[in-house]
Amino acid sequence: MDPLYGFVLGHGAQTRLMASLNGVPLYRAELEPDGCTRSGVANHLLGPGENTFELVVDTLEPWGGVLFSLARDHNHAAPAFALRLPDLSRPDGPSIQSLPYVHHARFELTEITARPAFFAAPPVDFGPDGTPALREAVLRFHGAILRGDVDAMVEEARLKIAEYRRIYPNEDELSEASSRAELAAFFASPAKVRPIAWDHVVFRRCSGGRVAFVTRRDGRPLIEAVNARGHTMRRDLWLTTYEGRWSVFL
């Protein structure tokens, strides 16, 4: 099994940014009132050899900054890749001179062997309004949530579940049984689901057209459901083509 690579991303208050690995959005911040730190595993977006990182910063407080670190076994004292903006410790370090700011970087991973499914997907050309096939994929997933149909939701996430199980075989919380139990618990009470309004939806072409990131133009999540107990489900969709159709993989 490949070693686990974990990430940490921190930023200051009132920051709007997007961080991506191999062209796939990993994290998005939308003007949160306080600073924020996010962490997690990233193997499902990484491959053997050369990998890419992209950071797009649209809004940043003058005294704010951004830190990203990717490290084997979460050992961020010795990261495989790291970026700090601005890097005040280095006279020649990267700094944000104007916004929007875009930073591209490449790094090598020699201990990764698994390749995510989206690496093998064919590139597809589409614009911000998507295609009929992309819209159909969104409606399939949204329809399952609208009906509270756990079986259909699990089926729509079949590729995601299989990918996570393949890449993280020892993580039981990423298994199909765990996903099914979590969904069943949420939909055990009636849920109100926000309808899809296509004029608010945007399809972002990522990873050279191998991935479609589907979200709302106003920065809110694509899908939002609130059940009778007040619990909320918020999701964007990451789609790639697999076995002839667009499928959720993240």
* Residue scoring higher pLDDT (98 or 28): 28
| Element at 242 (helix H, strand E) | strand 237-242
- Span 85-92, mean pLDDT? 62
* pLDDT for position 95: 62
Sign of the CA dihedral with 93 first, then 95, 97, and 102 last: positive
The percent of residues in the chain predicted with pLDDT above 90, rounded, is 75
pLDDT of residue 107: 97
The C-alpha atoms of residue 95 and residue 80 are separated, in whole angstroms, by: 21
As a whole number, mean pLDDT of residues 120-147 equals 97
C-alpha angle 113/118/122, rounded to 5°? 125
Rounded mean pLDDT of 90-113? 81
Average pLDDT over residues 203-215: 97
> Residue 88 pLDDT > 60, yes or no?
no
Band of pLDDT at residue 200, cut at 50, 70 and 90: very high
Mean of the pLDDT values across residues 216-232? 94
53 or 93: whose pLDDT is higher? Answer: 53
What pLDDT is attached to residue 33?
66
Cis geometry, peptide bond prior to residue 221 (ω within 30 degrees of 0):
no
Residue with tokens 């939701």: 153
User: In angstroms, rounded to a whole number, what is the distance separating the alpha carbons of residues 187 and 225?
Assistant: 10
